[in-house]
Amino acid sequence: MAVLKIARMGNATLRHPCQPVKDPTAPAIRALVSDMVETMLDAGGVGLAAPQVRVPLRLVIFQLPPSRADIEDAGADDVEGGHEDEDAASGATDPTTLPLHVLINPVITPLGEETALGWEGCLSLPRMRGLVPRYTHIRYSGVGLDGKPFECEAKGFHARVVQHECDHLDGILYPMRMTDLSLLGYNDEWARHPLDAPAADRPDAKAAE
């Protein structure tokens, strides 16, 4: 395994749709996933997409902290921000023991029109976060490393993470989903100048990565 360099916003690999994985069971794909896991853990993230490590393939990985696996959006979730999970920061959860989700050639279907706003960060936009609308209930399907297809429903933070990571596969970064770019900023500035909003909705109210 190796820690790979994470591409930042502006990198060409992040700006274009990715190609499908032809053989999910190939040793090279398994090796890529191992390197992506090492990179994600090193960066303190909960998710990572292949184009973020400069590999233009339709593959994402993520881990859901137990406190976030089944909750609804509360307006303060922080996706893929790096070192933002309270449980991990306090030592209450060991990220190396969390179940790993590998999605190859994923497809997302919204289940309903309801959306919710939530704070998201991204390892490709370090030290920043913004308020992003996402579907609250989705179905996603794909193929695993064993080559077998699967399907899953997700709500809340789980659904947000999947949508965020799969956007990378189409060359979309979360600011492109935002409806108000005044709500995009640096974490330290949000901490010094919080929004005039209830505590649960402020970006300085940490949630998950």
Give residue 81's pLDDT.
62
Q: Which of 80, 120, 165, 209 is catalytic?
A: 165
Active site residue 165: yes
CB 109 within 8 A of CB 38: no
At residue 57, φ and ψ (nearest 5 deg) are -120, 155
Question: Splitting the chain (209 residues) into consecutive groups of 10 residues, what average pLDDT does each group show?
Answer: 95 98 98 98 96 98 77 48 39 62 98 96 96 98 97 96 98 97 95 68 39
CA-to-CA dists, residue 118 to 1, 32, 102, 144, 164, angstroms: 33, 30, 23, 28, 11
Q: What confidence score (pLDDT) does residue 86 get? A: 33
pLDDT at site 96: 60
Return the sign of the alpha-carbon dihedral for residues 102, 63, 127, 5: negative
178/132 Cα distance (integer angstroms): 5
pLDDT of residue 89: 30
Q: Work out the angle at residue 85's Cα, subtended by the Cα atoms of residues 115 and 200, and round it to the nearest 5 degrees.
A: 50
Q: How far apart are CA 189 and CA 121, in angstroms?
A: 14
Question: What pLDDT does 98 receive?
Answer: 73
pLDDT of 126 reads: 96
The DSSP secondary-structure symbol of 170 reads T
